């Protein structure tokens, strides 16, 4: 599977990830102390609505376009739609979402390994408090702990390698060893229910911490295609966990493709 950000910007999985990202950063902003955001696979930061890559897949129609057309959105979903609506030419990636939510003393650490993408990322994400690192995202644990001692780490790889889930687990062990109290969010696609369940359980076991696993399915599984996605979260803020069920329910209502759509929240212990 190849999940390069440029081709899938604004699709249902992007919407899911960014809505939950807003919820996590909102929880960090509830306290005055500054925080740091580490994005291990940052991509280009923003993506043009008229990019031929978006037209080629057409996936944005079932994601960001639906959110913009939806009525009565509240909470995290309304704020996501507002951020997308703010720029008629560019779709926000995770770095841009985080940038809109950071305060004066909050920091962004953005990692990307592809030279051409790094060039775009540096052009799109500039200013005080933003650092772009050209490096393998799985080595970004070396940037931890942040000086702020508070923060969120988003791990959102392109899933180009067969052992991507194993690499995420290795990163988790290394990162948590340096920054035990940070919030960690691991995004993953859903194609095989077995591999997904096994990943969340292994994550809890290998880092010795509870895992909050949130999943959204937009359709019934078929033909080995991606029918959903999830976010496995370490150290989730209490307020985030309380608001999560309503957010997932609303996302399912907007993004569902057929009657097989569903959402799940599971808790895994070490």
Q: Catalytic positions, please? A: 156
Residue 107 contacts residue 65 (beta carbons within 8 Å): no
Integer Cα distance of 6 and 40 in angstroms:
16
State how beta strands 130-134 and 151-155 pair.
unpaired
Cβ neighbours, 10 Å, residue 129: 16
**Sheet of strand 228-234: strand arrangement:** 130-134, 107-112, 36-39, 151-155, 183-190, 228-234, 211-217, 262-268
């Amino acid at each position: 599977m190849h999940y390069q950000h440029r081709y899938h910007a604004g699709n249902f999985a992007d919407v899911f990830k960014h809505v939950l990202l807003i919820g996590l950063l909102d929880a960090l902003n509830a306290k005055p102390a500054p925080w740091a955001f580490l994005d291990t696979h940052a991509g280009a930061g923003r993506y043009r609505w008229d990019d031929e890559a978006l037209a080629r897949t057409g996936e944005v129609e079932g994601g960001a376009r639906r959110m913009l057309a939806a009525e009565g959105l509240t909470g995290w979903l309304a704020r996501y739609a507002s951020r997308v609506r703010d720029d008629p030419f560019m779709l926000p990636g995770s770095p841009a979402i985080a940038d809109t939510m950071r305060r004066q003393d909050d920091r962004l650490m953005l990692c990307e390994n592809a030279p051409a993408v790094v060039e775009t990322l540096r052009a799109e994400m500039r200013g005080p408090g933003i650092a772009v690192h050209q490096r393998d995202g799985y080595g970004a644990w070396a940037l931890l702990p942040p000086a702020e001692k508070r923060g969120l780490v988003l791990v959102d790889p392109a899933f180009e390698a067969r052992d991507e889930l194993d690499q995420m687990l290795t990163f988790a062990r290394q990162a948590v060893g340096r920054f035990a109290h940070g919030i960690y969010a691991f995004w993953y696609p859903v194609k095989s229910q077995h591999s997904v369940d096994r990943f969340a359980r292994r994550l809890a076991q290998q880092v010795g911490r509870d895992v909050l696993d949130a999943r959204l399915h937009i359709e019934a599984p078929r033909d080995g295609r991606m029918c959903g996605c999830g976010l496995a979260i370490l150290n989730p803020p209490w307020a985030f966990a309380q608001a999560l069920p309503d957010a997932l329910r609303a996302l399912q209502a907007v993004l569902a493709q057929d009657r097989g759509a569903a959402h799940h929240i599971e808790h895994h212990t070490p």
